[in-house]
Structure formats: C-alpha cells, structure tokens
Amino acid sequence: MKRSRGITAAAITLMIVGVGLVCGAFFGFHNGVFLETYRVKDSSDAVVHVLVMFLAFLGVGIWELVTAFGILRLWRWAWFCALVISVLYIGMGSWAVWITPRVLRAIHRSPSFYPAWLIAFQYFAAVWSMIVPLGVGIWWLMLFTRPSVEAQFANHTPSPETPAASDVSAL
C-alpha cells in the first residue's frame, strides 16, 4: 500500500526531532549544560544527573529515529509508537502550559538579574515549548487514529491468488 503524504510528513518531523534530541544529548553532555541545569554541589550527584539527562535525551532521540524509519516502512509497531509519542508530546505541551506562567513570573520578578534580550528569548522559548509539542501531538493523534491511516499500517494478508499454507485443496 502506498504511504500518504501526512504519514511521510510525520516521519520527517519525527526524524528532525530525533536528530535534535541526539545532538542535544551530546551538546548538553559535552558543554556541561546538564550540569549547569541542576547546579548540584556534590560532584557524585552531578555526574549522576548529567548521565541521566544524557541517556534520557539520547534514548528518546534514538527511539524517535527508529520509529520514524518504521513509519516510513509502514510497520505496525511504528504506528503504535507514533500514538505513544503523540500522547507524550501532548503531555509535555500541557505541562509547559501549566509551568511556563510560573517560570516567567519568577523571571519577571527579578528583571535586574536578567538582561532584556534574555527575558525576551525566554518568553519566546516558553511559548515555543507550549505550541510545538501540543500542535505536533494533536496533529499526530488526529492523523494516526484515522481509519485510512491505520489501514496503511495493518499487517498485510496473503492475496487471494496465493494459497494459504493450511489450504490442502490448493495442492
């Protein structure tokens, strides 16, 4: 069965996010971004936090890349993974909607601590972190629950011209 454009677009989007997460894992690990995020005083705790963040970003990135490949091949397990990832994206976006006003309020209370351009960037990043996961998650959930899309991922049955293995009369 031929793959629809929506499925191809979803797979390409998933590849972009997966590559971004894998690159982000190595960037955060190499440049100490994960270490600065936690500001842990004990060095043993810092190493654990850095490794956990690195493995989380790397693991999710690889999972998304493998799922994108499976979506392009129309494998059934990839369809299920896409549904799971869409629900996770909706959850992340919903969490961002809840937490972002609180974070921005805390930033706004101490404007002398942050330069104006950094505050503007944080507002942009906050809005982006809400819109993108929610939008992509809702799009994928709507796309992958359509009966026509689900049918593209269905396991292919033998065609009527091919005799089944249990059909003795075909011999």
Average pLDDT over residues 4-30: 87
Q: How far is Cα 147 from Cα 153, in angstroms, rounded to an integer?
A: 10
For residues 90, 91, 92, 98, the Cα torsion angle rounded to the nearest 10 degrees is 110
- Model pLDDT, residue 171: 46
Confidence of residue 110 (pLDDT cuts 50, 70, 90): low
Residue with the two structure tokens 């003795």: 168
- The predicted-structure confidence for 116-171, as pLDDT tens digits, reads as follows 766 677 777 777 777 888 889 999 999 999 999 998 888 644 455 545 444 444 44
Structure tokens at 145: 């629950």
Q: How far is Cα 63 from Cα 1, in angstroms, rounded to an integer?
A: 25
Q: What percent of the chain has pLDDT over 70?
A: 67
Given a contact cutoff of 8 angstroms between Cβ atoms, the answer to whether 92 and 17 are in contact is no
Concatenating the DSSP letter of every residue in 20-74 gives HHHHHHHHHHHTTHHHHHHT-SSHHHHHHHHHHHHHHHHHHHHHHHHHHHHHHTT
Greatest Cα-to-Cα distance within the chain, rounded to the nearest angstrom: 85
Whole-prediction pTM: 0.71
Q: What is the DSSP letter of 169?
A: G
Average pLDDT over residues 107-112: 60
- DSSP 3-state helix, strand, coil percentages of the chain (rounded to 5)? 80, 0, 20
- The predicted-structure confidence for 72-91, as pLDDT tens digits, reads as follows 999 999 999 999 999 998 98
Q: How far is Cα 29 from Cα 10, in angstroms, rounded to an integer?
A: 28
Range with lowest mean pLDDT among 23-32, 103-112, 154-163: 154-163
Residue with the two structure tokens 């997966």: 18
